[in-house]
């Protein structure tokens, strides 16, 4: 099967997580991705050493790329990068705001020189806002956007989501915007200048709590493993474990109460006659459900939930994830040996992506300089 983006050339002046997320997806789709690195390399190479002595972040997000070290303060290296851009379809970067413009590689200048080029600039905050020139990293933006305020429990205080959600979501958004720009270029022959920010990405994700506060006047509470808008939806203790139950409709509530919990009285209780009422009475409702589950074995409860098609799950540790029956892994070649990663989610015509190797720092210096610098 031909890769969807075969023949597309991407030049990435990238570091850390957000832009490498986008370019990893492009590489998985068959694009050629040239990763431009400082002499010391993308600083994400040094985040940890858990993946066979290599950074877990770097191994995850840099498969299928060519690594080329450059010093953009040197005229020769700038000329080589210019030669790359003359052939490129996409230029994506997440240096500090204004850095590429000072180097003569700003989006406006590049789009004037190469009208078919798609540029994508990723920053912490959107251009035109007072925060645009600030340095911004994932955890800072989780806090600034209000996401941390609604994460965790009332006792724990504001918490970070356990993965770099601002970076990852922004990288996914950049990937989608670039694919749209490629489709637009196929119709018009013209590239596009794309701008994204970590804050805007999380802001878009925060719309439900935003609307709840702005129009409902309610500051969304931190609920741990409960759902702010649905009840019952949370973790309950059984005689020998716990179960996370999710109810999505009035029909499911009636089935849960009558068939799984065995309580027609609970099903008919006027305090819980709609989801809005159940959310308002969450503590009372959860106590009622808990009392009916406390003495029943998990296996019995799970069997009843399966029998009546009510959604449920368990709260896994990361150790549990490694052996989870639903998890699919892929082997990725790295400079220090093969590493298994959890597979990207898309299955196309029955196939998962076939990941290409993770590059060593500067692995492709000589080949890329021979290809692009020889005519500079």
Quick one: 258 and 188 in the same domain? no
Question: What's the distance, Cα to Cα, between the start and end of the chain in Å?
Answer: 36
| pTM over the 0.85 mark | yes
Average pLDDT, the chain: 94
Quick one: 93 and 144 in the same domain? yes
Check residue 155 and give its pLDDT.
87
- Written as six digits, the tokens of 360 are 């060593």
Mean pLDDT over residues 36-57, rounded? 94
Residue 305 has pLDDT above 70, yes or no: yes
Q: How many domains does the chain have?
A: 2
Quick one: 295 and 361 in the same domain? no
Domain end position, chosen among 314, 335, 352: 314
Q: Residue 322 domain-assigned? A: no
- Written as six digits, the tokens of 369 are 């300089």
Q: What is the pLDDT of residues 135-154, one digit of tens each?
A: 899 999 999 999 999 999 98
Quick one: 162 and 277 in the same domain? no
Q: Residue 249 domain-assigned? A: yes
DSSP 8-state assignment for residue 216:
H
Check residue 177 and give its pLDDT.
98
Confidence of residue 2 (pLDDT cuts 50, 70, 90): low
Check residue 375 and give its pLDDT.
63
Instruction: Give me the CATH number covering residue 340.
Output: 3.40.50.10540
CA 261 to chain centroid: 37
Mean pLDDT over residues 45-59, rounded? 95
pLDDT above 70 covers a percentage of the chain that reads 99
Q: Residue 283 domain-assigned? A: yes
Residue 1 has pLDDT above 80, yes or no: no
Question: The dihedral of CA 239, 240, 245, 250: what is its sign?
Answer: negative
Q: Residue 198 domain-assigned? A: yes
Q: Residue 2 domain-assigned? A: no
Q: Residue 3 domain-assigned? A: no
Check residue 156 and give its pLDDT.
86
Quick one: 202 and 94 in the same domain? yes
Q: Residue 354 domain-assigned? A: yes
Quick one: 332 and 265 in the same domain? no
Mean pLDDT over residues 53-66, rounded? 96
Quick one: 179 and 73 in the same domain? yes
Tell me which residue range forms the domain holding 141: 9-206+327-372
Mean pLDDT over residues 34-39, rounded? 96
Is residue 148 within 8 Å of 140, Cβ to Cβ?
Answer: no
Quick one: 272 and 250 in the same domain? yes
d(Cα 343, Cα 354) in Å, to the nearest integer?
10
Q: What is the pLDDT of residues 223-263, one digit of tens each?
A: 999 899 999 999 999 999 999 999 999 999 999 999 999 99
Instruction: Give me the CATH number covering residue 278.
Output: 3.30.1540.10
């Amino acid at each position: 099967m031909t890769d969807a983006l075969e023949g597309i050339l991407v030049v990435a002046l990238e570091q850390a997580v957000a832009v490498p997320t986008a370019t990893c997806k492009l590489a998985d789709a068959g694009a050629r991705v040239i990763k431009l690195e400082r002499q010391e390399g993308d600083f994400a190479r040094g985040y940890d050493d858990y993946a066979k002595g290599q950074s877990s972040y770097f191994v995850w997000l840099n498969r299928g790329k060519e690594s080329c070290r450059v010093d953009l303060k040197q005229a020769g290296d700038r000329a080589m990068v210019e030669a790359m851009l003359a052939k490129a379809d996409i230029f994506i970067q997440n240096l500090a705001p204004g850095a590429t413009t000072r180097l003569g590689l700003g989006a406006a200048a590049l789009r004037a020189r190469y009208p078919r080029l798609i540029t994508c600039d990723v920053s912490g905050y959107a251009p035109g806002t007072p925060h645009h020139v600030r340095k911004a990293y994932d955890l800072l933006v989780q806090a600034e956007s209000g996401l941390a305020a609604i994460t965790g429990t009332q006792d724990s205080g504001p918490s970070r989501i356990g993965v770099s959600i601002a970076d990852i979501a922004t990288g996914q958004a950049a990937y989608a915007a670039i694919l749209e720009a490629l489709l637009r270029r196929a119709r018009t022959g013209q590239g596009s200048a794309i701008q994204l920010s970590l804050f805007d990405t999380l802001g878009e994700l925060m719309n439900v709590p935003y609307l709840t506060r702005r129009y409902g006047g309610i500051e969304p509470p931190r609920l741990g493993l409960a759902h702010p808008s649905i009840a019952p939806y949370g973790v309950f203790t059984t005689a020998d474990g716990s179960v996370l139950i999710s109810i999505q409709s009035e029909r499911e509530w009636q089935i849960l109460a009558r068939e799984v919990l065995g309580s027609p009285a609970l099903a008919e209780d006027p305090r819980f006659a709609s989801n809005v009422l159940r959310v308002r009475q969450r503590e009372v409702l959860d106590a009622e459900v808990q009392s009916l589950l406390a003495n029943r074995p998990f296996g019995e409860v799970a069997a009843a939930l399966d029998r009546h098609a009510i959604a449920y799950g368990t709260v896994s540790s990361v150790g549990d994830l490694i052996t989870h029956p639903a998890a699919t892994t892929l082997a990725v070649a790295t400079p220090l040996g093969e590493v298994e990663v959890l597979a990207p989610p898309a299955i196309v015509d029955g196939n998962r992506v076939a990941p290409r190797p993770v590059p060593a720092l500067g692995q492709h210096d000589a080949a890329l300089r021979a290809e692009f610098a020889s005519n500079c």
